[in-house]
Amino acid sequence: MTVLYQDQYITVCTKPSGVSSEDTTAAENGMPGLLRAAWGSPNAYVGVVHRLDVGVSGVMVYARTPAAAAALSAQVADRRLEK
């Protein structure tokens, strides 16, 4: 995983192939768990805004606050955020 951009509201990073976009039962196997580990904050909020299949690599946007997650989700719903 490589962090491409990060601020207090969002993190943009690469998701490697073979890693889930979402939390899994083994937290270290999903991107949210990997982000929390990288931040050194096991309870940090990580909002999943969109998904990529496990077998696919690509750029992901994660929200770092509930408000950012709501705003980004609205952009996805309104088709203002493009993949």
3-class secondary structure, 36: helix
Q: What separation in angstroms does the CA of 40 have from each of 8, 23, 34, 37, 43? A: 15, 16, 10, 5, 9
Instruction: Name the class of domain 3-77.
Output: alpha beta
Q: What was the pLDDT predicted at 27?
A: 56
| pLDDT, tens digit (0-9, with 9 covering 90-100), for 61-82 | 999 999 999 999 898 888 887 7
Contacts of 58 (CB under 8 A, 6+ apart): 14, 15, 52
What residue has token string 């940090």? Answer: 44
Q: What was the pLDDT predicted at 71?
A: 94
Residue 53 corresponds to which tokens in the numbers above?
């299949």
Q: What was the pLDDT predicted at 4?
A: 97
Domain map (residue ranges) of the chain? 3-77
Question: Which stretches of the chain drop beneath a pLDDT of 70?
Answer: 26-28, 83
Q: What was the pLDDT predicted at 24?
A: 79
Q: What was the pLDDT predicted at 81?
A: 75
Q: What was the pLDDT predicted at 28?
A: 64
